[in-house]
């Protein structure tokens, strides 16, 4: 019974509304990510779940029990912080056992917890060190160990990897995922890093300006974004947005694109019926970089693709792929091509546009056109 | 050619060193001179002082003046030296230092890690307390002590020094705790620790550097204080600073310079002791928090 329910939760500071009626149901054992740009209210929401901040309106329930008025220690939660927040005067052992000691656990209980945590996180050899004698990754592990020791119903992670360097962050990401597979405790995890969100979460909650913009599995959020913000926020390099006008050609709806030398027609997937009422009006076409690639000899099987040549402006090799920038309708557009295509700046390159997953947005409301 | 230049610049550097060290030695002598004169005078006999020159080293060392200053020197009709006053001073200085440091630590803890509406304003008001001269509070303080029934008592003097010291101790601890991450308190709250447990188990163990600074400051201030001592203490329990003044300013009889010097050194010894013992922590504490630990 570790499930979390957030019902119509509002947070106000004076006249400023930070969170506008948040609703979220978290299933037992689920790994949920709250992701959004800074200032979107995700950390505030986490603090409210933890009981470190008060709820202005609405209800938060953990394991079916409304916890609005319970202090943090009675909520059966544990939290891991960005700055680790280890107690500097205590060694690792004392840090891990502090919570149990405060709760007057018996020595055998503490021994058992310490052995379990040290084994799970493989840090038996670190127990007698002070936090200042540990590396960043080790400190983060101790912070997780402190959370694990009490075996809570709900884990809260507040940007736990932001203070680590890039390589360590990738390692710790794997470790957190493995940890969740092992302990199966419900986790609510806050991050501003969309890659962390994609790789870790069972479900992602995308937030902006104190509102939930979309909730879904990483793939759902990636393939089927609810609005322009979610589409642009999730994915790296981010989705290309091209302003264009809806046209009808040969009985098919689509948009016209020009690359400076000529204009070509991009038919929309027939499933997007919302375009029919917008003929002649402006929309925003969303197409991800990997949907524009070099000519694939096997692409013939995809009926939703068109081929078009465009002049390359910039070439950015990343190793596995090479990102090339072209210009469509005056907007720079990133394409992800195979390094073997050997693209060169200011040269034309034949490109394949996979149109099966393109999306359209209303320029005024920024909502998806479906 | 190149070697010649290098040799010359090395010689220039050595010459610079000589000047620097020479200056430092000169300044050190200048600062140490009064203390040396006090020390040598205190171990001379009265005849030698009258016969000799002020800076001359003593021909024979005698500690008679020290024992007289400690045990039998007369201030007015009372001929029991400074020992009674020494212990009287200890009697109110130690509790005043301990209490004001503890309360300052607690204030600093609340003002940084448990901020409330107006906590910054409150801190600013307390800060103003650092700039109030002693003389301003004399009269209201006398009245307050009267109301509390603490006039002319040791607890009264402790009270005065605690109240006056709070502005400083709060400032010290507040500025030290500003660098403690708030997340640490949050983590402790989730771990189940309450307000006082966090203070005792997590915040105070972090604080030795600033406690040392605070103790040195408070001890020096309170031990050396003359004005509050002379105004708020009864005749019998006069602090050592007041007694020293009375001893030195006695106008009856022969002027015993060696006894005066010994008495002055005795009065200064405890602060000197505190500095020597805790000095290295003092510098460490003053710079702590400026670098993230």
Residue B293 covered by a domain? no
The pLDDT of B169-192, averaged and rounded, is 92
B183 and chain A: CB distance < 8 Å anywhere? yes
Q: Are residues A166 and A274 in the same domain?
A: no
Residue A134 covered by a domain? yes
CATH code, domain with A293:
2.40.50.140
Dihedral over Cα of A136, A137, A143, A145: its sign: negative
Q: Are residues B115 and B254 in the same domain?
A: yes
Considering only CB atoms, A81 lies closest to which of B187, B197, B201, namely: B187
Interface A:B, Cβ pairs < 8 A? 59
pLDDT band at B246 (very low <50, low <70, confident <90, very high): confident
Q: Are residues B116 and B227 in the same domain?
A: yes
Q: So what's the pLDDT on residue B254?
A: 77
Query: Considering chain B, what is the average pLDDT of its residues?
Result: 86
- What ipTM does the predicted assembly reach? 0.85
**% of chain A residues with pLDDT over 70:** 98
Nearest CA in chain B to A75: B190
Residue B60 covered by a domain? yes
Q: So what's the pLDDT on residue A142?
A: 93
Backbone angles phi, psi at A51, to 5 degrees: 90, 10
Q: Are residues A222 and A276 in the same domain?
A: no
Our count of domains for chain B comes to 2
Considering only CB atoms, A73 lies closest to which of B183, B192, B206, namely: B192
pLDDT, tens digit (0-9, with 9 covering 90-100), for A304-357: 888 888 899 999 999 999 999 999 999 999 999 998 888 899 988 888 899 988
The pLDDT of B263-270, averaged and rounded, is 93
Residue B237 covered by a domain? yes
Omega into A237 within 30° of 0, i.e. cis? yes
Q: Are residues B176 and B272 in the same domain?
A: yes
Q: Are residues A115 and A22 in the same domain?
A: yes
Q: Are A112 and A96 in contact (CB under 8 A)?
A: no
Q: Are residues A296 and A213 in the same domain?
A: no
Q: So what's the pLDDT on residue A297?
A: 67
Q: Are residues A12 and A145 in the same domain?
A: yes
CB contact under 8 A, A89 and B183: no
Range of the domain at A8: 4-230
Q: So what's the pLDDT on residue A34?
A: 96
CA dist A305 and A295 (Å) reads: 10
**A79–chain B nearest CA distance, Å:** 7
Considering only CB atoms, B293 lies closest to which of A47, A99, A132, namely: A132
Q: So what's the pLDDT on residue A176?
A: 92
Domain boundary among A178, A211, A230: A230
pLDDT, tens digit (0-9, with 9 covering 90-100), for B105-127: 999 999 999 989 999 999 999 88
CB contact under 8 A, B186 and A82: no
B186 and chain A: CB distance < 8 Å anywhere? yes
Q: So what's the pLDDT on residue B285?
A: 58
To test the contact with chain B by mutation, choose from A54, A71, A81, A190 the residue with the greatest count of B C-beta atoms within 10 A, namely A81
Domain boundary among B72, B95, B110: B72
Q: Are residues B222 and B91 in the same domain?
A: yes
CA dist A102 and A85 (Å) reads: 17
**A20–chain B nearest CA distance, Å:** 24
Q: Are residues A281 and A183 in the same domain?
A: no
Nearest CA in chain B to A104: B192
Q: Are residues B152 and B16 in the same domain?
A: no
Nearest CA in chain B to A98: B191
Domain boundary among B50, B72, B94: B72
pLDDT band at B160 (very low <50, low <70, confident <90, very high): very high
Q: So what's the pLDDT on residue B292?
A: 40
Q: Are residues A250 and A338 in the same domain?
A: yes
Domain boundary among A198, A230, A262: A230
What's the token pair of residue A103?
Answer: 């709760």
Considering only CB atoms, A73 lies closest to which of B184, B189, B293, namely: B189
The pLDDT of A153-173, averaged and rounded, is 90
Considering only CB atoms, A102 lies closest to which of B184, B191, B293, namely: B191
A146 and chain B: CB distance < 8 Å anywhere? yes
CA dist A208 and A39 (Å) reads: 8
- H/E stretch holding A63 reads none
CATH code, domain with A46:
3.40.50.300
Q: So what's the pLDDT on residue B25?
A: 96
To test the contact with chain A by mutation, choose from B192, B199, B289 the residue with the greatest count of A C-beta atoms within 10 A, namely B192
CATH code, domain with B118:
1.10.3720.10
Q: Are residues A163 and A283 in the same domain?
A: no
Q: Are residues A269 and A362 in the same domain?
A: yes
Three-point CA angle A165, A167, A173, nearest 5°? 95
Task: Tell which residue, A155, A130, A128, has the closest CA to residue A144.
Answer: A155
**% of chain B residues with pLDDT over 70:** 90
Considering only CB atoms, A99 lies closest to which of B192, B205, B293, namely: B192
Chain A residues in contact with B188 (beta carbon < 8 A):
87, 98
- Beta bridge pairs of residue A61: A5, A66
Q: Are A222 and A198 in contact (CB under 8 A)?
A: yes
The pLDDT of B242-255, averaged and rounded, is 82
Q: Are residues B38 and B89 in the same domain?
A: no
Residue B137 in this model has a pLDDT that exceeds 60: yes
Considering only CB atoms, A81 lies closest to which of B183, B202, B205, namely: B183
The pLDDT of B209-228, averaged and rounded, is 91
CB contact under 8 A, A98 and B188: yes
- Beta bridge pairs of residue B240: none
Residue with the bigger pLDDT between B200 and B232: it is: B200
Residue B276 in this model has a pLDDT that exceeds 70: yes
Residue B47 covered by a domain? yes
pLDDT, tens digit (0-9, with 9 covering 90-100), for A53-106: 999 999 999 999 999 999 999 999 999 999 889 999 999 999 999 999 999 999
CB contact under 8 A, B189 and A71: yes
Q: Are A35 and A194 in contact (CB under 8 A)?
A: yes
**3 state SS of A46:** helix
Residue B103 covered by a domain? yes
CA dist A252 and A266 (Å) reads: 10
Q: Which of A133-147, B31-45, B58-72, B273-287 has the lowest mean pLDDT?
A: B273-287
Residue B87 covered by a domain? yes
Q: So what's the pLDDT on residue A90?
A: 92
CB contact under 8 A, B187 and A79: yes
**B281–chain A nearest CA distance, Å:** 17
Considering only CB atoms, B192 lies closest to which of A50, A83, A102, namely: A102
Q: Are A257 and A263 in contact (CB under 8 A)?
A: yes
Range of the domain at B263: 83-287
Q: So what's the pLDDT on residue A19?
A: 94
Residues 59-78 of A with CB under 8 A from B: 71-73, 77-78
**3 state SS of A18:** strand
CB contact under 8 A, B186 and A50: yes
**3 state SS of B168:** helix
The pLDDT of B50-73, averaged and rounded, is 85
- Beta bridge pairs of residue B248: none
Q: Which of A287-291, A297-301, B38-42, B199-203 has the lowest mean pLDDT?
A: A297-301
Residue with the bigger pLDDT between B32 and A1: it is: B32
- Beta bridge pairs of residue A11: A19
The pLDDT of B18-36, averaged and rounded, is 94
Residue A235 covered by a domain? no
**% of chain B residues with pLDDT over 90:** 48
Residue B129 in this model has a pLDDT that exceeds 60: yes
Q: Are residues B227 and B115 in the same domain?
A: yes
CA dist A153 and B21 (Å) reads: 67
Residues 203-222 of B with CB under 8 A from A: 205-206
pLDDT band at B291 (very low <50, low <70, confident <90, very high): very low
Task: Tell which residue, A91, A80, A100, A96, has the closest CA to residue A176.
Answer: A80
Domain boundary among B10, B37, B72: B72
Q: Are A62 and A4 in contact (CB under 8 A)?
A: yes
Q: Are residues A269 and A226 in the same domain?
A: no
Nearest CA in chain A to B204: A89
Q: Are residues B52 and B96 in the same domain?
A: no
Q: Are residues A110 and A149 in the same domain?
A: yes
The pLDDT of A178-187, averaged and rounded, is 92
State how far the alpha carbon of B289 is from the alpha carbons of A42, A258, A291, in Å: 30, 59, 52
Residue B77 covered by a domain? no
pLDDT, tens digit (0-9, with 9 covering 90-100), for A242-296: 999 999 888 888 998 988 788 889 889 888 888 888 888 999 999 999 999 987 6
Chain B residues in contact with A103 (beta carbon < 8 A):
192
**A311–chain B nearest CA distance, Å:** 51
Q: Are residues B159 and B127 in the same domain?
A: yes
Cα–chain center distance at B252: 32
Our count of domains for chain A comes to 2
Task: Tell which residue, A154, A175, A160, A210, has the closest CA to residue A27.
Answer: A154
Domain boundary among A208, A230, A252: A230
pLDDT, tens digit (0-9, with 9 covering 90-100), for A192-202: 999 999 999 99
Q: Are residues A254 and A220 in the same domain?
A: no
CB contact under 8 A, B191 and A99: yes
Nearest CA in chain A to B180: A85
Residue B292 covered by a domain? no
CB contact under 8 A, B191 and A88: no
The pLDDT of B194-199, averaged and rounded, is 94
């Amino acid at each position: 019974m570790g499930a979390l329910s957030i019902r119509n939760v509002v947070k106000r500071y004076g006249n400023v509304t930070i969170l506008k009626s948040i609703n979220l149901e978290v299933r037992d054992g689920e790994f949920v990510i709250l992701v959004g740009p800074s200032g979107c209210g995700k950390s505030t929401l986490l603090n409210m779940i933890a009981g470190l901040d008060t709820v202005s309106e609405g209800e938060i329930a953990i394991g079916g029990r409304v916890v609005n008025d319970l202090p943090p220690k009675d909520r059966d939660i544990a939290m891991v912080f960005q700055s680790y927040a280890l107690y500097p005067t205590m060694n690792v052992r004392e840090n891990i056992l502090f919570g149990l000691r405060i709760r007057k656990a018996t020595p055998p209980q503490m021994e058992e917890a310490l052995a379990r945590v040290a084994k799970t996180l493989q840090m038996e050899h670190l127990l007698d060190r002070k936090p200042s004698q540990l590396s960043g990754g080790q400190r983060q592990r101790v912070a997780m160990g402190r959370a694990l020791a009490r075996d809570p119903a709900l884990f809260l992670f507040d940007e736990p990897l932001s203070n680590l360097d890039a390589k360590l962050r990738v390692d710790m990401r794997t470790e957190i995922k493995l940890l969740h597979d092992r302990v199966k405790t419900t986790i609510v995890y806050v991050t501003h890093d969309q890659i962390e969100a994609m790789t870790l979460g069972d479900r992602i909650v995308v937030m902006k300006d104190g509102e939930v913009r979309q909730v879904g599995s990483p793939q759902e959020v990636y393939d089927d974004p609810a609005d322009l913000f979610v589409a642009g926020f999730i994915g790296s390099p981010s989705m290309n947005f091209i302003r264009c006008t809806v046209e009808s050609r040969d009985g098919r709806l689509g948009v016209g694109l020009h690359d400076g030398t000529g204009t070509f027609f991009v038919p929309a997937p027939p499933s997007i019926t919302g375009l029919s009422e917008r003929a002649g009006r402006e929309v925003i076409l969303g197409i991800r970089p990997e949907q524009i690639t070099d000519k694939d000899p096997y692409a013939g099987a995809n009926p939703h693709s068109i081929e078009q040549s465009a002049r390359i402006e910039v070439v950015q090799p990343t190793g596995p792929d090479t990102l090339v920038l072209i210009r469509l309708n005056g907007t720079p557009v990133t394409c992800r091509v195979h390094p073997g295509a050997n693209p060169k700046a200011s040269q034309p390159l034949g490109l394949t546009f996979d149109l099966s997953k393109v999306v359209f947005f209303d320029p005024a409301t920024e909502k998806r056109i479906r | 050619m190149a070697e010649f230049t290098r040799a010359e610049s090395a010689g220039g550097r050595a010459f610079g060193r000589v000047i620097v060290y020479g200056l430092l030695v000169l300044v050190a002598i200048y600062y140490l001179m009064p203390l040396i004169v006090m020390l040598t005078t205190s171990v001379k006999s009265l005849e030698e002082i009258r016969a000799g020159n002020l800076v001359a080293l003593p021909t024979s060392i005698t500690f008679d003046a020290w024992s007289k200053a400690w045990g039998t020197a007369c201030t007015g009709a009372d001929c029991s030296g400074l020992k009674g006053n020494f212990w009287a001073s200890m009697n109110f200085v130690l509790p005043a230092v301990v209490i004001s440091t503890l309360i300052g630590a607690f204030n600093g803890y609340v003002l940084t890690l448990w901020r409330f509406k107006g906590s910054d304003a409150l801190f600013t008001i307390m800060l103003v307390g650092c700039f109030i001269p002693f003389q301003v509070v004399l009269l209201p303080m006398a009245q307050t002590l009267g109301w509390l029934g603490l006039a002319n008592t040791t607890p009264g003097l402790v009270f005065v020094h605690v109240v006056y010291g709070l502005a400083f101790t709060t400032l010290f601890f507040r500025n030290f705790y500003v660098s403690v991450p708030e997340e640490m308190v949050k983590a402790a709250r989730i771990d189940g620790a309450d307000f006082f447990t966090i203070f005792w188990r997590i915040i105070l163990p972090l604080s030795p550097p600033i406690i040392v600074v605070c103790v040195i400051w408070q001890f020096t201030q309170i031990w050396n204080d003359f004005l509050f001592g002379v105004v708020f203490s009864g005749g019998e329990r006069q602090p050592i600073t007041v007694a020293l003044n009375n001893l030195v300013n006695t106008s009856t009889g022969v002027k015993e310079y060696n006894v005066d010097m010994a008495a002055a050194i005795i009065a200064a010894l405890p602060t000197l002791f505190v500095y020597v013992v805790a000095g290295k922590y003092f510098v460490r504490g003053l710079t702590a928090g400026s670098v993230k630990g």
